[in-house]
Amino acid sequence: MNIVVLVKSAVDEAELRADPAGHPLLMGAATKMSNFDMNGVEEAVRQKEENGGTVIVVTLGGADAKKAIKEAMAMGGTRGVHILADPRGAPDSLGTAYLLAKAIKRLGEVDLVVCSEGASDTYQGQVGAMVAEYLEMPFLAYAKKVETNGGKVTCEQGFEGGVRVLQAKLPAVVSVVSEANQPRYPTLLQVMVAGKKAIEDLPLSSLKSEDYPETGMEVLDVTVQATNRKRVLLDGSPEDASKKLVDALKQEGVL
């Protein structure tokens, strides 16, 4: 089975700082593979382990994005493809999907495209569906369980109070949620081996044609919202402290 997994190099939110006006300092900020994409990669690698075949990791991003591809390759990806984009003029969701789909079409026969529910930095959750549209493949969203058998993919999709089971013919695009699996930790040796593997570069210009969607969409502003935690420390015995905790929660209207 030839599987493509889409990953994004996202800003590492744990290291992100903002200027006094609340604008995140994105230039030079530390990046890593989006947390949600770890579930996507895990699912792709599991499908490869069950069915054989390859897992091609595809990303679009600046030079830093290679780091995300290597993280995915350490988890079991067999090949890495990087569409090099200028982070200052990064395409919007539709442009990203267009470029990813064009790249996927160049990879030969693909049976399954896996992505995650959204990116851990922007969390728009649009690209998977748009890629499916460009590839003219069915899209099975928010899967918490994925099975492939007899040329078909079956997914369980959770919703409040129930489960919906979807099935489609392969090739298909599937987005997984974090309940789908527990991402593996690669060993340090696997990380080292992945770090030395070559990654194929696809120039963005080679994928862009006249039909590229110029939507004119721009991100005008991003500000962080400060959360003021109260950091109340309750002292006394566990019994006293638990009473104080209940009182404090009542006072805050939580209980």
When asked if residue 15 is in the footprint of other proteins (CB under 8 A), the reply is: yes
DSSP state of 89: G
Query: Under a CB-based contact definition with an 8 Å cutoff, are residues 95 and 131 in contact?
Result: no
Which of 163, 165, 192, 217 is in the footprint of other proteins by CB under 8 A?
Answer: 192
When asked if residue 245 is in the footprint of other proteins (CB under 8 A), the reply is: no
Residue nearer to other proteins on the CB measure, 15 or 86: 15
Give the nearest distance from C-beta 191 to other proteins in angstroms. 5
Return d(Cα 57, Cα 70) in angstroms, integer.
9
When asked if residue 254 is in the footprint of other proteins (CB under 8 A), the reply is: no
When asked if residue 201 is in the footprint of other proteins (CB under 8 A), the reply is: no
Give the nearest distance from C-beta 66 to other proteins in angstroms. 8
Cα dihedral sign, 94-99-102-107: negative
Give the pairing of strands 200-203 and 162-169.
unpaired
Give the nearest distance from C-beta 233 to other proteins in angstroms. 7
**∠ CA 213-216-218, rounded to 5°:** 125
Main-chain phi, psi angles of 113, to 5 degrees: -115, 125
When asked if residue 74 is in the footprint of other proteins (CB under 8 A), the reply is: yes
When asked if residue 229 is in the footprint of other proteins (CB under 8 A), the reply is: yes
When asked if residue 191 is in the footprint of other proteins (CB under 8 A), the reply is: yes
Neighbouring residues of 219: CB distance < 8 A, sequence distance ≥ 6: none
Of 83-91, 163-171, 188-196, 203-211, which part binds other proteins (CB under 8 A)? 188-196
DSSP state of 24: B
When asked if residue 198 is in the footprint of other proteins (CB under 8 A), the reply is: no
When asked if residue 189 is in the footprint of other proteins (CB under 8 A), the reply is: yes
What is the separation of C-alpha 216 from the centre of its chain, rounded to a whole number of angstroms? Answer: 24
Give the nearest distance from C-beta 105 to other proteins in angstroms. 30
When asked if residue 27 is in the footprint of other proteins (CB under 8 A), the reply is: no
Selection from 93, 97, 104, 117 nearest residue 174 by Cα: 117
Give the nearest distance from C-beta 113 to other proteins in angstroms. 25
Residue type, 171: P
DSSP state of 90: -
Which residues contact other proteins by CB under 8 A? 14-15, 30, 32, 67, 70-71, 74, 185-189, 191-192, 194-196, 229, 231, 233
